[in-house]
Amino acid sequence: MAVNLNCKPSEIVEKFVDVPQVYLARVIGKGGSNIKEVESKFKVRCDVLKNEMKIKVSGSDDAATSAIDSIENITLAVDVTVELRKEVVNSLLSNKAATLNEIQTSLNNIRLSIPKKSNTLTLRGRQDVIDRAIERINSLDIHAAYLTFAPRELGIVIGKGGETIKELEAAHSVTLEILSRSEGATDNLQIVGSAHDVEKATNAIELLVSENEVLEEDMEVTQAHRNLFLSDTAAVIKAIQKESGAYLRMSANSSQSNYKGGIPSAPSTMTIKGTRAQISSARTLGGENIKVIRKATKATIEIDWDASKIRIQSNDDDQVQKAKEDIMEIVRNNQVEIIVVGQPLLPLLLGVMGKPVRNKIIDEIGVKLEVIQDTRDIKVRGTKEKIDKAVVCVKEFLAANYTTMYEVAAEDTSLLLGGGADSVIKTLAGKFECDVHMQRDTNMVRIRGVQEKVEAAIADLKKTIHGGDGVVVEDLKVAENVMGKVIGKGGAKISEIETTHNIKINALQNSNMLRLRGDEKNVSEAVREILVFVANQKVNETVPVEDPKLLPVLAAKGSLFKKIHSRGVTPVLKGQNLRLRGYPEDVDEVKRMLTEESKSGIFEVKVALDECHVKKVGVVSSPHWQRIIDSSKASVSIGEAGVSIMGKREEVVTALEQTHAFFQFCLNDQFAKVDVGAASLTGAFTPGDLLLIGFDTSTTLTRDFVTECLFVRTDKGKEEIGKALENIDRKLKSWSKLHVTIKVEDWARPVIIGAKGVTINKLREETKCEISVQGNSIEVSGEDEEAIDKAKAAVEKLLEENKVWSVKVELPKDSKGSFIGKGGANIKVLKAETGGVYDVIDGGNAVEVKGGEEEVAKAKDAIEKWVGDWSEKNFVHVIEDVSNSGQSAVIGSKGDVVRGLQEEYKIRINVVRGDGEERSGSVELKGERGNVESAVDAVRKIISEGEE
């Protein structure tokens, strides 16, 4: 078995986990599949105890614990259904449900599913894990954008066989959905993803459509140009169309005349139809203009590109002048200026937001606009006057869309995005009239708007994240086992604290840290509230009972259980594990108690000190500490956090008392000890109460259960210690007036608590008092004396009505087996005759009976009669100081004498040999009293004869 479980035989432990009937089939799985998976994964053996509704887990301690945690992930699981926006569902399911799978994998032990054609998310797991999953989903920056395209434009987005739309989805991590494709209607496209991804995808789609938009541009063509373009069956037009991909159409010329000596014909219009790139290419190829001028003027025209000069040569001055005028007209209409835009803003200018600007530049001003692909800038072409107007338009647009990127830490993204409409991101956008987006994949915040407002928004964002100008940022560590309670269901507790103190709080992922931001005073008050809340949260901790001798002691629920209860901790023994519920420091105290009770017998206490105090108390090798160590025999060590004392309880108590006295001497006005007693230590002061006193007085208070006192320390002086002592005294007086302790016997505890706590909860509700059972004491606390009196009377009445009488009767030595009888036969007869509950205690040396007054009296008489009868039948007489020869005489040759005596007198005789010394043996006679007394003389005679 040990080989299969991957451990040594000595390392195998057995642990039990409760499995309610309703979960048993789910834990086992179809054909035992789930149990087999647990056994294989953790190298354990699982036995299902259906009658007890438990599963026994065998294996190494760590493996068994891990397996039980895995099983409890099923037994403690709940099902929760959450309504989601459709776009959130689309985002979660996009890319083969990548986001949904990532959340499920990162949180562990949770199942997430979205039914088909549904906007609901089903979660199964522990409530705290579900709360974290919902928080993750709520913090997702899911947005939807809608674009309207004509059928041809939508075809560009979809691409051949849907290739383009798939590439867009993959490139930008978004989901694209065609919402309507009815003939003759505009087609809507939905884009779903994070705000950053949606924006990138929107820009890319608009740029794609813009670059492939079919446009028409008209250009004036002189008669000479017209003749050139149409000559030779429009060979030039055909060549340009073939090279550029654009479609060229020459308008009809309504006024025809001979240029020679007459009026030149009115200019014709050349229409170019195609995409921006095609039109630009056609225009460039149309640079055949120079050829047209050469042909029309018969002049020789040479272009010196290096010198940026054009040389015109002709014998006819008029033709030179005509060529010059034609060239200058071309130059005037084709002035070029580059407007620096860059990649971040180019898609914006070419997208929906930039459409009004583009229309104004192209249609109203009449300037041609081209994209420089390498630099992602804009080239404008036209007359100087028109270009100047276009530049103003573009620069105004750019100024209104000034963009800055600011990187934030990954753990701060939830702070910026959380809160829905009141999130930091949305608040910044409204406050500074900017467009603000969080790009989660890069942890970058993009802010766009007027430069002055953008810079103000960035300054405000920096203050929010890093603090400054009265705003502080503080990280607060919270124990993992109470973090869920601090956050609250669905983040309710955190939201309440944020609202109360007007601050922002975010839980840092993969850590037990809370980050608080806000006004310094508000943050301080929020920290105080959280610390007190955490201190007053009771925790559950499972402690393995490694000492086999300790298990039966705990199982008996005797004095050790009472001691644990007296510390305000509730113990539950399950298999070889002890579950403890109480305040963290009280649970730690109980763990020290268990260590002391175990076979080690070692007890340890720690006295916390501040750094300034550690320096004052010195080192262990100093004479003061050596005297404490020598007189107590305890082990003492001093570290950064304070003093640790270890040893047997009496040694530790001695050393601790001497340590207190030493502290009061060397720490003077910075230390005080207050004796309060055990009941007040757990009843009058919760850990939160001590924190509040410390906050109000600049002190630190700790409880010491060993000496039943409070320690008070400060790094300041006598005034702070004095204030703390006043607060402690005030609290004790207030508590004593509103608190009463009722001492009870063991039977009273279950009477007060009732099945599953029903009775005690009813008492609390009826009396409006806090009632708790601690060992053999019932502690009652209330808001006024009238409530206390009412609760005390209710408890005493309940005890009187359910009083259990008890009696303890000593049993003779070695009578336990006979008293119980074979298979419990004898004790069953007694119970049937007398009633009551019988319990053999003290290792079989006594029996305790509980029940009604009459039942207990009858049982006492019956047991005492049985004891008397048994004693008569098991009378023992011992003859002491028998010599070796006397012992041999009683035994006889081969035991014939002793057998004869036993048969004759119907008794048992046991000869006890001595230790070698003369007359050190004895002879024990056991049987009915009369028979034993008759045999005594005969045995003495045989001894006497044997010794002669």
Mapped onto helix, strand or coil, the DSSP state of residue 191 is strand
For 294-330, write each residue's pLDDT tens digit. 666 666 766 665 655 667 767 777 777 877 777 777 7
More confident residue, 47 or 185: 47
For 229-257, write each residue's pLDDT tens digit. 777 677 777 777 777 677 788 777 654 44
For 87-137, write each residue's pLDDT tens digit. 788 777 776 677 788 888 877 778 888 887 788 888 888 777 887 788 778
- Two structure tokens written together for 316: 């006819």
| pLDDT at site 693 | 93
At 720, the pLDDT band (50, 70, 90 cuts) reads very high
Mapped onto helix, strand or coil, the DSSP state of residue 839 is strand
For 423-457, write each residue's pLDDT tens digit. 888 899 999 999 888 877 678 888 989 989 999 99
| pLDDT at site 699 | 94
CA distance 731 to 725: 10
pTM: 0.50
| pLDDT at site 381 | 82
State yes or no: pLDDT of 182 exceeds 60: no
For 639-657, write each residue's pLDDT tens digit. 988 999 988 888 999 999 9
- Two structure tokens written together for 144: 């939807």
- What is the percent of the chain with per-residue pLDDT over 90, rounded to a whole number? 10
More confident residue, 143 or 301: 143
Q: 180: number of CA atoms within 13 Å, CB side?
A: 12
Q: What integer best gives the mean pLDDT of the chain?
A: 82
| pLDDT at site 260 | 42
Mapped onto helix, strand or coil, the DSSP state of residue 333 is helix
CA distance 167 to 717: 71
| pLDDT at site 20 | 79
- Tracing tokens 């609901």 back to the chain, one arrives at 120
Q: Over the range 563-578, which residues count as b (16 or more CB within 10 Å of their CB) and which as e? A: ebbbbbbbbeeebbbb
Q: Residues 209-224: what's their mean pLDDT? A: 71
State yes or no: pLDDT of 288 exceeds 60: no
Mapped onto helix, strand or coil, the DSSP state of residue 122 is strand
Neighbours of 648 (CB within 10 A): 15
Strand partners, 380: 337, 369
CA distance 760 to 411: 45
- What is the percent of the chain with per-residue pLDDT over 70, rounded to a whole number? 90
- What is the DSSP-derived secondary structure letter of residue 147? E
State yes or no: pLDDT of 293 exceeds 70: no
| pLDDT at site 23 | 78
CA distance 686 to 583: 8
- What is the DSSP-derived secondary structure letter of residue 646? E
Q: Over the range 788-818, which residues count as b (16 or more CB within 10 Å of their CB) and which as e? A: bebbbebbeebbeeeebbbbebebeeebeee
For 400-429, write each residue's pLDDT tens digit. 888 888 888 887 887 788 777 788 888 999
CA distance 208 to 463: 39
Neighbours of 556 (CB within 10 A): 12
| pLDDT at site 295 | 64
Taking each helix axis from N to C end, the angle separating 584-597 and 559-566, rounded to the nearest 10 degrees, works out to: 150
CA distance 724 to 727: 5
For 35-70, write each residue's pLDDT tens digit. 888 888 888 888 888 777 888 888 888 888 888 888
At 671, the pLDDT band (50, 70, 90 cuts) reads very high
Question: Can you list the alpha helix ranges (DSSP code H) found in 611-747?
Answer: 611-617, 623-632, 649-666, 678-683, 687-697, 718-737
What is the longest distance spanned by two Cα atoms in the chain?
A: 181
CA neighbor of 177 nearest in space, from 165, 160, 186, 167: 165
| pLDDT at site 569 | 85
| pLDDT at site 654 | 93
| Across 244-258, 675-689, 762-776, least confident range | 244-258
CA distance 869 to 862: 11
* Residue 334 one-letter amino acid: N
- Tracing tokens 């959280």 back to the chain, one arrives at 530
* Residue 54 one-letter amino acid: K
CA distance 442 to 197: 11
Residue 404 and residue 379 in contact, taking contact as beta carbons nearer than 8 Å: no
* Residue 887 one-letter amino acid: Q
For 879-936, write each residue's pLDDT tens digit. 888 888 888 888 888 889 888 888 888 989 898 877 666 667 888 889 988 898 898 8
Neighbours of 188 (CB within 10 A): 15
For 273-286, write each residue's pLDDT tens digit. 777 666 665 655 45
